Structure 1
Amino acid sequence: TGDERRMARRLLECSLSDKLCVVQQKQYEVIIVPTLLVGAFLILLGVILWLFIREQRSQQQTSGLHGISPMPSTRDPSCEAAGFGGNVFGQLETSVESLLRATTPALAKLQVPREHLSEVLEQIHNGSYGAIYRAKMHTGDPAKSKSVVIKALREPARLQEIQDFLGRIKFYQYLGKHKNLVQLEGCCTERLPLYMVLEYVAQGDLLSFLWTCRRDVMTMDGLLYDLTEKQVYHIGKQVLLALEFLQDKRLFHGDVAARNILIQCDLTAKLCGLGLAYEVHAQGAISSTQTIPLKWLAPERLLLRPAGIGGDIWSFGILLYEMVTLVLAGAPPYPEVPPTSILQYLQRRNIMKRPSSCTHTMYNLMKSCWRWSEDSRPSPRDLRLRLEAAARTANDKAVLQVPELVVPELYADVAGISVDSLHYNYTIL
């Protein structure tokens, strides 16, 4: 064949003692074939690795969408889930640092040295943004240290969570001081972790206070204390002052209830749970993710119409009912109506009947709050003036008292809320 002739010619050109041509021919066979095999193996290995990495990235993206992001607080979890590199991490760390640098000067007057918050007394609650502690805040003078509540933003925190937490602190700053709102004592925002420092109200929430009042003998700081009709007006007036304050700033509370009012030993009431007010301030509307117990909502809220101060007035009528009955027999409002049926109950123009412990004057105030049309309900100021007039002739001797003890689990089930929400705690605001 042609190949054999070419090989023969190549061998004739060589001497018998010269094996160079033969050796070269075998070297090509020995080197080229293994090289091709190794190359094919490397290409196949590269394809397999590429497919494996692509699958891992796909799984991480899916995890990121479901909120699984075990990352340092200065990195954005969504970027790590997408598989971005270290340069992006550096940019995110810089963005968090830049955000804190830009925000801290605006909050300079509120900054509290972290070493002044070193003595943690107890963990009160574990909220949606992180743990809530009761601690001692030192003012430089040991005799002037005081109990405060520290709301800590959990770590790792996403950039959006950091922005939201800072926004809530700024919202408190915007509101300013009011004796019937829980006050912001300060903050720590110059670096992570972020802290919001709130005033501590020793007696806790009004709902727990009302349940305590059900006992035959109640004491606060060693002093005997009973709840009378006049004191109900006193507490109600303070809540309305807080609602007036919010209305003047074109805001509303959105969840007026005994569980969202803190009470001091002198019966000073402080409205807390201002998360919905913050959302209205920041976004112009209430988020669809907020869950409010149905039995405290006005009809327009149940019908998903725009909320306003009139809805707070409706809820205030429920609050009066809570106080007058001391949450009668351990049950919340409308004890005979399932939470999911409350709208149909109200659409039939039903309202709660007058409790035996309630005067006609008090009940008329409740009914004015429960008018179907939002526009026909009194304003916070008008209602406060009516409460003040009623308080002047109210009974300050007869004690509101119900002997039965409360079963929190039963109460929560009938109210349509979680048992955890009944424990004394401070919400995000």
Structure 2
Amino acid sequence: MQIHFSEQLNPWGLFSSALCILWGSSAELDCCVAMGDERRMTRMLLECSLSDKLCIVQEQQYEIIIIPTLLVGIFLILLGVILWLFIREQREQQQSPGLRGVAHVPASRGLSWEAARPEGSVFVPLKETSVESLLRTSTHALAKLQVPREHLSEVLEQIHNGSFGTIYRTKMYTGDPDEPKSVVLKALKETAGLQEVQEFLGQIQFYQYLGKHKNLVQLEGCCTEGLPLYMVLEDVAQGDLLSFLWTCRRDVMTMDGLPYDLTEKQIYHIGKQVLLAVEFLQDKHLFHGDVAARNILIQCDLTAKLCGLGLAYEVHSRGAISSTRIVPLKWLAPERLLLRPAGIKGDIWSFGILLYEMVTLGAPPYPEIPPTSILQHLQRRKIMKRPSSCTHTMYGLMKSCWRWSEDSRPSLRELHSRLETAARTANDKAVLQVPELVVPELYAAVAGVSVESLSYSYSIL
């Protein structure tokens, strides 16, 4: 039997007819005729008997061609959309600030919102609709920290413009009019919105939660019962450790009672105090995240006080670090550069960088490597060479901090013990000397930091 197609066939009609013939019984063919092209289907059925399988096979050929073609088309469209989204994400990452010497910090290791907020800490929830109602809500939580405004001197010395507002140095009268206490005021700008006010109050409460530690900058109180809002901090007038190290390069013996001669033994002395502060944070399930000389304040007796607790505050209050938080690349551990979760072992890596800063009197780390190339440098398992002023014992401590694997680095307590052992035999007579003076702008470019971050200030917690 031969089948004659005397007219041009409609493909979509053949497709619908094929489906009916494939899935329906012979009794249902009349229904298919009614649904499709009646004139064409009638001619096909007149030429094909119900027992003629060749006709059915020829009809099914259209189904075999059309359905796979549709499926392949849909698959190609989805694949194109996925590839477009992937390429767009890669371009956004390449345009991030990390390419300019700083990196966005990933969320902290294994911490959730609930786990990062210990019992007993009280944080003001952002449920109020105005600044005034928010201040009334926080009055009870901050009652013990309130400092009467009349106890603060009206003479304010501006020392910095911070992200929240202006930073001042002033006097606080504590009862003895002859001996007022020098303090630093962090003032919240009067144009701050509700979110900024809540953040400012949260930082005050974070200090309240931390409590007192001799190697952390202390909170003296606050003025939050009305505007302007003040955070009152202790004043460490001698400044930051990085500036102190740069001054040690000059021919200066003492200044304002602070000796500017640094020995190997004194490096261990300062390092042990920094470790005590980091251990204190670890006991509260926190980490610092940016251990560096610029984030350490120094007193006349070489007492070191760790500041720059912004990352620790975010972990405590939110359970993670915000995506906008950035840290200079050259102080970050490899896992941080690879955007893995942050942890206390990252602080140990940074502590090794701190030892390098102190023994070189404030030289930038990896001076020959651009900040944006530091990850590739470390991936080749390369570390900084031993400085000429560095003993083999101290360099051994640095190398232990710079082990690629986090688990291979020493713990804080083990590192503290090794520092104490090294300090017993350290040289306390030979003064470290570096003849070159530092140009801040050049240092900032090599280190991958902003020049503004190098000036002594309380711009960050």
Match of 2:286 among 231, 251, 269: 251
Distance 1:93 1:164, change over 3 A: closer
**Mapped contact 1:212–1:218 kept (Cα < 8 A):** no
Q: Which residue of 2 aligns with 1:205?
A: 240
Which runs of 5 or more residues in structure 2 are unaligned? Answer: 1-126
Q: Which residue of 1 aligns with 2:115?
A: none
Provide the secondary structure at the position in 2 that maps to 1:144.
coil
Alignment of 1:86-105 (within 5 A): 95-105=130-140
Provide the secondary structure at the position in 1 that maps to 2:327.
coil
**Mapped contact 2:131–2:193 kept (Cα < 8 A):** no
Match of 2:337 among 292, 302, 317: 302
Name the CA distance, whole Å, in 2 between partners of 1:301 and 1:111. Answer: 39
Name the CA distance, whole Å, in 1 between partners of 2:258 and 2:230. Answer: 35
Shift of 1:96: 2.2
Q: Which residue of 2 aligns with 1:158?
A: 193
Name the CA distance, whole Å, in 2 between partners of 1:308 and 1:220. Answer: 38
Amino acid aligned to 2:426: A
**Mapped contact 2:128–2:134 kept (Cα < 8 A):** no
Q: Which residue of 1 aligns with 2:305?
A: 270
**Mapped contact 1:318–1:366 kept (Cα < 8 A):** yes
Q: What is the aligned residue count?
A: 335
Match of 2:405 among 363, 373, 376: 373
Name the CA distance, whole Å, in 2 between partners of 1:386 and 1:120. Answer: 47
Does 1:185 pair with 2:217? no
Provide the secondary structure at the position in 1 that maps to 2:342.
coil
Shift of 1:345: 0.3
Greater per-residue helix proportion:
1
Name the CA distance, whole Å, in 1 between partners of 2:460 and 2:225. Answer: 20
Identity percentage of aligned residues = 86
Task: Kindly provide the CA deviation profile for residues 243-268 of structure 1, in whole angstroms up to 9, marking residues without a partner as x.
Answer: 00000000000000000000000000
Alignment of 1:301-320 (within 5 A): 301-320=336-355
Task: Kindly provide the CA deviation profile for residues 385-405 of structure 1, in whole angstroms up to 9, marking residues without a partner as x.
Answer: 110111011000000111211
Does 1:411 pair with 2:446? no
CA RMSD of aligned residues (A): 1.4
Which runs of 5 or more residues in structure 1 are unaligned? Answer: 1-91
Match of 1:390 among 422, 427, 446: 422
Task: Kindly provide the CA deviation profile for residues 177-211 of structure 1, in whole angstroms up to 9, marking residues without a partner as x.
Answer: 00000000000111122110000001100000000
Amino acid aligned to 2:403: R
Alignment of 1:23-422 (within 5 A): 95-222=130-257, 224-328=259-363, 332-422=364-454
Shift of 1:93: 9.0
Amino acid aligned to 1:385: S
Q: Which residue of 2 aligns with 1:8?
A: none
Amino acid aligned to 1:240: L
**Mapped contact 1:216–1:401 kept (Cα < 8 A):** no
Provide the secondary structure at the position in 1 that maps to 2:167.
strand
Name the CA distance, whole Å, in 1 between partners of 2:302 and 2:257. Answer: 15
Task: Kindly provide the CA deviation profile for residues 20-73 of structure 1, in whole angstroms up to 9, marking residues without a partner as x.
Answer: xxxxxxxxxxxxxxxxxxxxxxxxxxxxxxxxxxxxxxxxxxxxxxxxxxxxxx
Deviates more, 1:284-293 or 1:228-237: 284-293
Name the CA distance, whole Å, in 1 between partners of 2:291 and 2:208. Answer: 22
**Mapped contact 1:295–1:339 kept (Cα < 8 A):** yes
Shift of 1:237: 0.2
Give the TM-score taking structure 1 as reference length. 0.76
**Mapped contact 2:244–2:260 kept (Cα < 8 A):** no
Name the CA distance, whole Å, in 1 between partners of 2:299 and 2:380. Answer: 39
Amino acid aligned to 2:396: N
**Mapped contact 2:287–2:312 kept (Cα < 8 A):** yes
Amino acid aligned to 1:260: N
Give the TM-score taking structure 2 as reference length. 0.71
Name the CA distance, whole Å, in 2 between partners of 1:206 and 1:225. Answer: 11
